[in-house]
Structures are given as C-alpha cells and as structure tokens.
Amino acid sequence: MSNSEALIQRRGFQEKELLRIEEKLREYLPKLEAERVTATICGLVQEVDEELDRILSDPQVDGLYEYDGLFFTPRGTHSFHRAFDGIHILRSLDDCKIEIFFRGKDKGHAFRWMMEELGWHTWAAKVRRMNWEEERTLNTVTKEVIEAIVEDIQERRKAQQTEPLSAEEQTFFKSYEVQMSDGNLPVNS
C-alpha cells in the first residue's frame, strides 16, 4: 500500500470515528456545539498524526522500533513507548468514555476534562518527536534530565551523610549514655 493510499484509508477511518463521536456528543450538547467539539478533536488527532509521521519518516526509526499505532517497541526488548496515533485516540474515546466525561457534569467542565485527557497524546507525540530529532530517543524524559535527577539525588545523599564524631564528641556522648543507663541524669531546678 502506498503512502497516499494509507493516508486516504487513515482519513476514512478517522472520519467514521469522528461521526460516531459527534453523534454521541449530541446526546449532551447542542448540534453546533457537538460539531465544534468534534472539530477540535479532529484538529488534535491531525496534530498527533503529523508529529508521529515526522518520527516515522526517519528510516532509522524503522530499524530500531516496531510501531503498531499504539506503541513504539524497541526491537528485541519488552519495553515500549506509548504513542497512540489518531485512529487509536479516536477509538479510545468510545461511547462509555464520553459518558464518563459528560454525564451529570457541567458541559464546560466536561469539555475541558476531555480535552485535557486527549491533550496528553499531543504532548507526548510532540515531546517524543522533539527528543527523537534532538537526541535520537523516544523517551519523554531526556537523558540530560535523568542525569540531572541522578546527580541531585547523589548530592542530597551526600548532604545527609554526617561527618564522624570527633574523639571529644564521642567521649561526651558515651558518658551521657552511661548516665542515662544508670539513671544519674542531672536534674534542672
């Protein structure tokens, strides 16, 4: 299948899912508002697909990862990087999930909540694309950030470690411990 055929097929699947979503949204929103929300979702999905297409256009990605529309899986490993493409994002927004967002809730709050949840996919796709182009990693946290976190932890551990007590301090605390065990502590009056 050529790239243009795949793109046409992808658009067809997305249009079908968008119609389903719009129809479900009409149970909670007026027609024009349901259309507007669906158009916003469509824009989000297109943005995600553009970001993922940029990653997938690099031939090196195909050699290092398998991608199934949901996850980039490094070849020969069991780890993965979650990266839903547009059609999988739309399919994840099934009728039940739309009901969870909208049933019994203020429409504005429901819309913001849904878009926040869907927006995570856009954020992840952008960050993965930027990190791929800059560092050749699909992690959402860069190697530099991980190294900075490790360095910070090591510094905190060093700061928590105390210097050993001097001989004078050891003598003082030893005598204090003896007084405590004998019950001969001085009484303040």
Give 166's pLDDT tier (boundaries 50, 70, 90): confident
Domain ranges of the chain: 3-140
pLDDT digits (tens, 9 = 90+) for 55-105: 999 999 999 999 999 999 999 888 999 999 999 999 999 999 999 999 888
d(CA 182, CA 1): 88
Residue 150 reports pLDDT greater than 60? yes
Q: How far is CA 157 from the centre of its chain?
A: 28
pLDDT at 159 (0 to 100): 76
Q: How far is CA 5 from the centre of its chain?
A: 31
Share of the chain above pLDDT 90, in %: 62
pLDDT at 189 (0 to 100): 46
- The region that residue 61 occupies, defined by phi over 0 for left and psi between -120 and 50 for alpha, beta otherwise, is alpha
